Amino acid sequence: MKVLAITNQKGGVGKTTTAVNLAASLGAEGQRVLLIDMDPQGNATTGAGITKKEALPTVYQLLIGASTLAEVCINTAFSFDILPANRELAGAEVEMIELDQREYRLKNALQAGHATYDFILIDCPPALNMLTVNALVAADSVLIPMQCEYYALEGLSDLVETLRKVRAHLNSRLEIEGLLRTMYNPQSTLTQQVSSELESHFGNKVYQTIVPRNVRLAEAPSYGKPVIAFDKNSKGAQAYSALAREILERVAS
């Protein structure tokens, strides 16, 4: 069983898109997958076809110890399960400060799911807060989606420093699983430069799969579907299917 935190402190880089579509693509490959929505915006929840009214209890109740994993878990129509979130989760930050083992709340709650799943994917909020720290403590490794643009490199160095601190103090096994280039525009010279810089710095940590800018990928969440259920022949769907296979190959080797 592998726990992957999908994170980047910069917003708008395709974190939630990656979380939902990778969960669906791994599920389509026969893997047992749990997706955890750790973002109070709840976009992974609605992107998986769960309305926020249905989503009770949520990750919030799990983190404060009011509900168990089984009580929070919802089966989606897309071959993965989800722990949903809504705006209530924003309040968990404040409440968790008072709780014992506040950085380990998610990790401890997930013990019950270890035998049930092959992959647990965590969609992190775009900030370094107690929710993100809980995700990083629970995870074996991080998947970092990023756009190939100048500011992305600056954000990446901040994130690498954050991971170093978490590894030193809270989770010694945490490592970078891989970097995923998203919203890729092959026509842009800057995109190509940043892409090759990533490859020279991070080597085989950079996934060979590249996710292009794709209209169908952008449209799918408004229908409450992963892109492989919305338009399986689109370039976006093909990219996430390829990413799922690449991750499975890496795990197998």
Cβ-Cβ contacts under 8 Å for 60 (sequence gap 6 or more): 85, 86, 88, 89, 91, 92
CATH number of the domain enclosing 108: 3.40.50.300
Structural domain range at position 210: 2-252
Half-sphere exposure of 167 (CA within 13 A, CB side): 13
Candidates 71, 47, 103; CA nearest to 225 is: 47
| Per-residue pLDDT tens over the stretch 142-196 | 999 998 887 777 778 889 999 999 999 999 999 999 999 999 988 888 899 989 9
Degrees, nearest 5: CA angle 253-143-33: 75
Asked whether residue 131 carries a pLDDT value surpassing 80, the answer given is: yes
Six-digit token string for 27: 């599920």
- Single pTM value for the model: 0.95
User: Tokens 């769907």 correspond to what residue?
Assistant: 237
CB atoms within 10 A of CB 129: 16
The better pLDDT of the pair 127, 211 is held by 211
95-110 pLDDT per residue, tens: 888 888 999 999 999 9
* Strand-pair partners of 122: 5, 36
Angle (CA) 155-197-143 rounded to 5° is 50
User: Per-residue confidence at 55, pLDDT binned at 50, 70, 90?
Assistant: low
Q: Which residue has the tokens 């993100």?
A: 132
Query: Which segments of the chain does DSSP mark as H helices, in order?
Result: 15-28, 43-47, 59-63, 69-72, 92-97, 105-110, 130-138, 150-169, 189-202, 215-219, 227-230, 235-252
Prior bond to 57 cis, omega within 30? Answer: yes
DSSP letters along 32-84, please?
-EEEEE--TT-HHHHHTT--TTT--S-HHHHHTTSS-HHHH-EE-SSS-EEE-
Taking 70 as the threshold, does the pLDDT of residue 76 lie above it? yes
Residue 114 has pLDDT above 80, yes or no: no
Residue 147 per-residue DSSP state = E
What band does 232 get if pLDDT is binned at 50, 70 and 90?
very high
pLDDT at 91: 86
- Name the domain count of the chain: 1
Which pLDDT score is estimated for 151? Answer: 79
